[in-house]
Structure 1
């Protein structure tokens, strides 16, 4: 169902471009409202933690009781959040606005991932890549938003994204009609599986432990992604003497190449295995991330591009890997990996913001550069063949 995949990918772009407005406004808010790095980290923390905490909750609920029109309703919340952000006079109002945006994102991501799963056929890696590359492309718009909209218009420029949210609501209303039909089919198939189930068993210990390891690995990747996305522009301004608009080029390159990596990673995982791609996505760029704080601006531009491709090549792969570890829990696994694990990177935003205020920007970026080495934990994950073997052994059973 490529038409459905492309539409949900496009709405993912629109949804994540709304989220991208928030960190894109950081240089504007720092100057207009006099916010500290710690306060900027608190904004990111609020946005991502609302989304991360709610995504698994939404996923678990809709695994049991799918609701087709949850998607457009969620984007309406984001639309009101953008409206509030455009007029927010102080930090508390900004926090309330980003909570609304976070709630919309919390609903969109697990449900969007489910739609990609249902439309995938036997190409789950490719389907998730099409879906996820939309989101990464939306995030990549952040520096463009800053340079073309927020720099000339200031905070009020966020008003344009109320229209973006409304367009997304229209697309998702169309998607929801198709989704309602799929929910009916899904319920019928699930009912038949339950009728033919022989026993009810708990998840094997290996799978439970592997899910925990995978969440931590994705957290490490997200922590690095969050640090670069939120603070590298300030690093470029300080170390390279770049203007606000020029500093956004580094972030744009990182996020655009990350979108490319996300799209390429899915098909590669379908061919070479998901665990292999997850492992390489962290360990391969590790030498480059360690080198990044010590090079000049032109070499840095090349490095952030290569790092972006490599480190985000496992973005969609990790979701499919988790979904295959726990079949039948599509929304829950998407919520845990995209929501909880990615949102935990928001904790790092607060931590790194405080660290910058305490020890300085350069020293903090050096510490950040070692995060991809945590990819060594992927050696603890089972191979794709091992997961398929476990699922075959559990055939005819339902998982608690």
Structure 2
């Protein structure tokens, strides 16, 4: 089948989205059990940040390497291997007896993530039928939904019991393996029938190497501002509401769920709008539009804090599908490397952000870091310097 006439393959998009949901649900149990780990092992905010850094480091460093390798040597079944690493990590975390075993277990989960994301993103790109922002958002909303569900499951199942009950999440990993096996078979057949056609019909933007490199740099700056800020919510928002407003741990989990659900919804909306209005327009709106709400957040009451985080989550999340697809269209011959680079950098910034913010929270207060982070979305002004790809000439490779 020619890529020019290929339709959007919705069964594969739904399957890869479901696999992403299960994969990211397993990853999201890590920050969701932070209050439990803090109480059980008497951890500081800096140690909490180091747990995130350890996980995000393994998830980020290997992703571009995996992506670059699979660009030249596609591995349809590699995602099953990634899920196997995640399964081991969750099993170790359920039985961890000290802080260092926690670090080892989350490192294993990060390895699984680094293998899963580059090839999964490539599958969604290939199954898009040209509707790339939509396909990427469908893929991404699966991950965001899984991330949002994790705090609810932790509040319902783990907090009333013990962290050892995490072992039951192994069943989630097994279900993910079944779905990934189906996707891998489709991907294997796709490679057999479309690889030669794909190589001859790639649309390459007519931009200088310097311009492409500069543009990728701008996109990475946007990822930095977005994920450094998001790290302040995903890793510390529970502690923020606990300390500042005196809510219960279960209530704090619910408020975190609201934010993560808003991220999922914003991702889907961003995908629809990106195909319709162009990637740059959505990127500019998303990364810069959240700034006024972020600036208001440190001064809000509990009710308005919840409302503002929902708005911030929706607006900021709408950018990621557009950013990733924009980068993929810049370098369509390196889909795996680009996907790995951007997912890896996003995870890396979340990890570094958590470690840095945890350190300063110990030195100052949990409220103080939200005052500092409120200025991060202002970095989004650099999005105005992105070239408009709709006005760029292309050549067929």
Normalising by structure 1, what TM-score?
0.94
* Offset at residue 85 of structure 1 (A): 0.4
Note if 1:356 corresponds to 2:364.
Answer: no
* Offset at residue 153 of structure 1 (A): 1.8
Normalising by structure 2, what TM-score?
0.94
Aligned with 2:193 (options 160, 170, 185) = 185
Note if 1:133 corresponds to 2:133.
Answer: no
Residues 90 and 169 of structure 2 are in contact (CA less than 8 Å); yes or no, is this contact kept in structure 1?
Answer: yes
**Structure 2 residue matching 1:211: 3-state secondary structure:** helix
**Structure 1 residue matching 2:159: 3-state secondary structure:** helix
Note if 1:277 corresponds to 2:282.
Answer: yes
- 1:207 match: 212
- CA-to-aligned-CA distance 1:192-218 (integer Å, 9 cap, x gap): 579xx9xxx996210111101101111
Runs (5+) with no aligned partner, structure 2? 1-8
Note if 1:123 corresponds to 2:131.
Answer: yes
- 2:111 match: 103
Note if 1:292 corresponds to 2:297.
Answer: yes
Partners of 1:227 and 1:318 in 2: CA distance:
21
* Offset at residue 236 of structure 1 (A): 0.4
- 2:221 match: 216
- 1:302 match: 307
- 1:263 match: 268
**Structure 2 residue matching 1:328: 3-state secondary structure:** helix
RMSD: 1.8
- CA-to-aligned-CA distance 1:270-325 (integer Å, 9 cap, x gap): 11110111111121111111101111111111111111110101121111010001
Aligned with 2:72 (options 46, 64, 77) = 64
Note if 1:238 corresponds to 2:243.
Answer: yes
Residues 125 and 266 of structure 1 are in contact (CA less than 8 Å); yes or no, is this contact kept in structure 2?
Answer: yes
Note if 1:27 corresponds to 2:35.
Answer: yes
* Offset at residue 92 of structure 1 (A): 1.3
- 2:345 match: 340
Residues 15 and 75 of structure 1 are in contact (CA less than 8 Å); yes or no, is this contact kept in structure 2?
Answer: yes
- Between the two proteins, the alignment pairs up a number of residues equal to 388
**Structure 2 residue matching 1:122: 3-state secondary structure:** coil
Partners of 2:168 and 2:91 in 1: CA distance:
9
Bigger mean CA deviation after superposition, 349-358 or 245-254: 245-254
- 2:259 match: 254
Residues 265 and 316 of structure 1 are in contact (CA less than 8 Å); yes or no, is this contact kept in structure 2?
Answer: yes
Runs of 4+ residues deviating >6 angstroms: none
Note if 1:313 corresponds to 2:297.
Answer: no
Residues 26 and 150 of structure 2 are in contact (CA less than 8 Å); yes or no, is this contact kept in structure 1?
Answer: no
Compared CA separation, residues 32 and 217, structure 1 to 2 (3 A): same
Partners of 1:221 and 1:340 in 2: CA distance:
11
- 1:169 match: 177
Aligned with 1:328 (options 315, 325, 333) = 333
Note if 1:16 corresponds to 2:24.
Answer: yes
